Chain A
Amino acid sequence: MHTNDFESISPEEKSLYIAPHSEKVRKNLFFRHVGCILGLSIFALLALFAIVVPALSPYRYDEVHLALKNVSPSSGHLLGTDDLGRDQLSRVAEGLRLSLAIGLLAAFLDLCIGLSWGAISGFCGGMVDSIMMRTADFIYSVPYLLSVLLVAAIVGPGLASILIAMCFVGWIQMARLVRTQVLATRRLDFVLAARALGVSPMRIVIRHILPNIAGPTLAMLLLTIPHAIFTEAFLSFLGIGIQPPAASLGSMTADALSAMRYYPWRLLAPAVTISATILAFNLIGDGLRDALDPKQKKCIESPYAN
């Protein structure tokens, strides 16, 4: 019968196994948690906003009312309207939906390419590794903004173009991380054991190596989401991302900026929403990295704290 060793020992013994955390360290862990919880709650609120508003709002995000241009916030339009009389609240919600979708999609694509590239490169080693990683270095050497702009210009405007432009460079960080992790893992005994048993290389990578490097990869994955959201907003701010009439928080900020003197309320909502979205993912990603990446987890007491 399976018994839980930890439950069977006495409290006195237990205290030997658990490092005595001072009040200070415990507080710090608590604040770390608070960051993560804060991030999750902001994310939940934003998600709720993105789901509920388009469902309940009487206006569509691209519904033009030229008679109601630049209306200030009122009970009819909670966040006012823009220069074509479109309801600002619906547009912010629509832009937020787009940001979330782009963030998740881009992270997924980065993961797919980066994981397979890094895993193959790290596992094969030798010539294959050199060629694959030098190719990645070549692409990575061009300044980020420039390569994103160039690729976006090559593919043409639109959602797909933004995704392709971001993933053109985005996967490389992921591939590098996965490669280092695979290199560190593939010499370990359990991989050797699997090889001795005649497990195929493909299966070794998928069943034995990948589960062992899931932690840092997941943390990295979560931190690529805010980056992707930022890049989309940035490209749309420049006018080469999402094209009208689709709503993007970046292009809404750009539109509001030119009319800031007269209609300042149009600036605040998209700027705050995009910042809150990125903040939420950064907080969650940071919390996860603290929890999942053991190298980052340090409880060093500062000798000067008292």
Chain B
Amino acid sequence: MKYVLRFLVIRTGLCLISLFVIATVTFLLMKSIPGDPFQDERGVSSECIEQLKRFYGLNDSLFIQYGRYVKSIFCLDFGPSLKYPAIQVNDIIREGFPISAALGLVALAIALPFGILFGLLAALYHGRGIDSLLRLLAVGGVSVPSFCMASLLQFVFAYELSLLPIARFDSIAHMVLPAVTLAIGPIAIISRLLRASTLDVLGQPYIYTARMKGLQRRHIIPYHVLKNASLPVLSYLGPVIANILVGSFIVERVFAIPGLGQWFVGAVLNRDYPLIGGLTIFYSIVLIISHTIIDLLYTLLDPRVRIYAHE
């Protein structure tokens, strides 16, 4: 327990440093975008824009702006969006994230079982037809861009066959197509990783030992094979979980889902500085949390990886 606490303390320190770095790089990048947030407003006089800029402190020196930015991160309060002044950035995150996260969890619930199933099948029937077929499908799965997959699924299932609703986010049926779109990439990658690691594990002496002891196949595969082979999959899942939970811009745009992912591109194009900052920091926090959880899970699955080895 002491080690776990210590791990968490060190980990938190490292996380704060990386958050700081991410925030700083993002600040420098977003301030380098030419133009200002109000340049696309129509029918607004230049005095008015000047006034707006002064109001939001955009005329101050970069250092003062950076100070305010860091303060907003520490207080986790990013203020109003510059493009939509009636909405607080925090509210955008509060309203969008649950929707994206719900969709993401459904996608993960699809991706994990199928990915594991395909990976195991390919490895257990290594070199047979089914292995080659699954490998080809996996390459295909990572090759079709998400926007093509989303468009094609929408076209076939929602429009041609009229089986599922075409867009929006009102019921379980609305979640099927976007969740499948989100799940296809991870299914392909999980099955590839798991195939490779399962082949590795199957060649290990302890599998032969287990078989010599006369253990049943249905015991060996989950407890001896899958447990050891799932480690590479686990480390792949860290960033993927964060990505999927925060929401994909493409999927949310094609299926008109009011999630969090849809805000990213608009925020950058509108130079909506508080929104960019808020989204980046929120995403990074989710990423860091999911990495930490994955690391803890790793130690549970593999006793050789000890978290206090960081000393």
- Name the residue of chain B whose CB is nearest to the CB of A300: B203
A139 within 8 A of B: yes
Contact with B along A110-136 (1 / 0, CB 8 A): 000000000000000000000000000
| Cross-interface CB contact of A146 among B139, B142, B268, cutoff 8 Å | B268
A253 touches B22 (CB 8 A): no
**Docked complex Cα distance between A143 and B260 (Å):** 15
Interface residues of A in 150-173 (CB under 8 A from B): 150-151, 153-154, 156
| Cross-interface CB contact of A300 among B34, B199, B211, cutoff 8 Å | B199
**Docked complex Cα distance between A257 and B250 (Å):** 12
Residues on the A chain within 8 Å of B208, using CB:
303
- 14 pairs, CB–CB < 8 Å, chain A vs chain B: A27-B128, A31-B132, A34-B132, A35-B135, A142-B22, A143-B284, A149-B269, A230-B145, A233-B147, A256-B151, A257-B151, A274-B148, A278-B145, A300-B200
Interface size bracket, A side:
35 or more
Residues on the A chain within 8 Å of B126, using CB:
24, 28, 300-302, 305
Give the total number of A-B pairs whose CB atoms are below 8 A apart. 153
B124 touches A302 (CB 8 A): yes
B131 within 8 A of A: yes
- Name the residue of chain B whose CB is nearest to the CB of A226: B143
With contacts A143-B284, A271-B151, A282-B143 known, is A302 near B264, CB below 8 A? no
B33 touches A298 (CB 8 A): no
B25 within 8 A of A: yes
In the complex, identify which listed stretch (A57-65, A69-77, A259-267) lies at the interface while the others stay far away.
Answer: A259-267
B18 within 8 A of A: yes
Contact with A along B120-154 (1 / 0, CB 8 A): 00011111100110011001101111011001101
Least distance between B119 CB and chain A CB atoms (Å): 13
The secondary structure that dominates the B interface is: helix
B301 within 8 A of A: no
Residues on the B chain within 8 Å of A150, using CB:
26, 29-30, 32-33, 268, 276
Contact with A along B187-216 (1 / 0, CB 8 A): 000000000100110110001100100000
| Cross-interface CB contact of B127 among A24, A141, A146, cutoff 8 Å | A24
A242 within 8 A of B: no
Contact with B along A242-273 (1 / 0, CB 8 A): 00000000100110110011001001000110
Interface residues of B in 1-32 (CB under 8 A from A): 18, 21-22, 25-26, 29-30, 32
**Docked complex Cα distance between A137 and B22 (Å):** 10
**Docked complex Cα distance between A208 and B140 (Å):** 38
Residues on the B chain within 8 Å of A238, using CB:
249, 265
A156 touches B34 (CB 8 A): yes
Residues on the B chain within 8 Å of A298, using CB:
199-200, 203
B151 touches A154 (CB 8 A): no
A283 within 8 A of B: yes
B25 touches A305 (CB 8 A): no
A141 touches B139 (CB 8 A): no
With contacts A25-B127, A28-B131 known, is A240 near B269, CB below 8 A? yes
A302 touches B25 (CB 8 A): no
B25 touches A303 (CB 8 A): no
B250 touches A138 (CB 8 A): no
**Docked complex Cα distance between A145 and B276 (Å):** 12
Residues on the A chain within 8 Å of B34, using CB:
154, 156
Least distance between A165 CB and chain B CB atoms (Å): 11
**Docked complex Cα distance between A286 and B132 (Å):** 13
With contacts A139-B25, A146-B268, A146-B280 known, is A305 near B124, CB below 8 A? yes
| Cross-interface CB contact of A279 among B124, B132, B140, B207, cutoff 8 Å | B140
B254 touches A257 (CB 8 A): yes
B217 within 8 A of A: yes
